[in-house]
Amino acid sequence: MSVLDLFKPAPYIEEIQNQSLVKKNYKYWRFRTFYAMYFGYAFYYFTRKSFVFAMPAMQAELGLSKFELGLLGSVLSITYGVSKFLSGILGDKSNPRYFMSIGLILTGIFNFLFGMSSVFWAFAVFWGLNGWFQGWGWPGCAKLLTHWYSQSERGRWWSIWSTSHNLGGALIPILAAACAEYFGWRSALHIPGILCIAAGLFIMNRLRDTPQSLGLPAIEKFRDDYPNQRAVPEKVQLSTKEILWEYVLRNKFIWVLAFFSFFIYIIRTAVNDWSMLYLIEVKHYSNLQAGFCVSWFEVGGFLGCLAGGWISDLVFKGKRNPINVLFTMAIIGVLFAFKAVTVTWPILDATFLFLFGFLIFGPQSIIGLAAAELSHKKAAATATGFAGCFSYLGAAVAGGPLGAVIKEWGWDSFLLTLGVCSLVGSLLILPLWSVKSNPKTEPEKVPEPTPDSAN
């Protein structure tokens, strides 16, 4: 067996007929699958954000300019954005057990090699490769979430899983900063890298592929939870052409979600990257005060991820886009209040940052879920990867271009730009309010035979 054989989807095996055993196995594997991919994706953030907290020490020790440091961040964004789409195509045709775990191991290796380097070209190469393999984390999770959890419950599971990056994003500053402070900046890359190699081996042991590869029925059959009622049999595999052409590139829903994601990521990245400087320059906060306020952005994001999924399941009965519309429209109101309140009051501004996080991360977590459900569950990684590529184009716009806007026209223009992005994004996604699933989606429920049809 070659190394490439590891990435092939696990074959379906004969379905278990003992219903009590099916129920027992489903309960066990759903829990095991969830905790493995949750902590695995949290560790991906360890190797994605480690460099950020080594930057000041690198600048002092190696004399790197802010432009060079910023360029390294751009290299990761570009390689990650491209990889997220291309890896999505591969992810739908791969076994997430190995695809996700090997990607995490390789990000750990390239973090370690980055920490051993001292010249700019080596930093760029290793950080670019890190970005590329960062793109291997999301596709496996998208595939697992759509195969192990059905539509009426998926919003809750997806939203809980989405908090994994908040967990990783909250822990890595503490870990990397402590490493850099006590052991030097290189340890801020080495230690997260080693942890991710170990985590990759752990999730390789824990994860498996689809329920059918373990002799279990498809999740729709197990939970009697079908997107629609037409009698179309489920295909074991889709061709790459079908996945990419029929369910992504010719899918109007995915294009709308991709452009919506572009605007949401402008807002998310702008608030995340620029709000601390805004508070220091406009409201004259100290670094410590501003940092306290900005830390609440992740707290709000954590709860926003949970709320978006649960509300879409329980209130909107599996429709995802009402959350996208309502949360994005509400951002406009928070932007207006944030600008209108000019007093220096950290508790109030921390509340604003909390609300930004809540309202931004709600749609951000739902976009991927909506893309998966509006394409095909066997094209989930490709669809979410395609939308993710547009996300990081938006993130790139929130960097240099938005910085130029601030420089030329000031902070009011910054807030106005975010308001326009919120308005355009909410109007763009509004027509999809009532769309729950792609009409082409399989599998679909085969009607039970009636007495007449049996005769």
Identify which of 51-65, 130-144, 305-319, 380-394 has the greatest average pLDDT.
130-144
Asked if 227 and 436 count as a contact pair (C-beta separation under 8 A), the reply is yes
Residue pair 323/366 in contact (Cβ under 8 Å)? The answer is yes
Burial of residue 373 (CB within 10 Å: 0-12, 13-18, 19+) is: buried
Where do the structural domains in the chain lie, given as residue ranges? 25-212, 242-432
Q: What is the pLDDT of residues 154-208, one digit of tens each?
A: 888 988 898 898 788 777 777 877 887 788 889 989 999 999 999 999 999 999 9
Band of residue 451 on the pLDDT scale cut at 50, 70, 90: very low
Q: What is the pTM of this model?
A: 0.75
Residue 376 near residue 253, CB atoms below 8 Å: no
Among the four given CATH numbers 3.30.300.30, 3.40.50.1950, 1.20.1250.20, 3.40.140.10, the one describing domain 25-212: 1.20.1250.20
182-195: pLDDT as tens digits: 888 899 899 999 99
Separation of alpha carbons 341 and 87, rounded Å: 44
Annotation: CATH topology of 242-432: Growth Hormone; Chain: A; (1.20.1250)
Q: Dump pLDDT digits (tens) for 348-402.
A: 999 999 999 999 998 988 888 888 888 887 887 788 888 888 888 888 787 768 8
- Identify the CA nearest to 56 among candidates 350, 282, 287, 269: 287
Please determine whether the domains at 25-212 and 242-432 fall in the same fold group of CATH.
yes
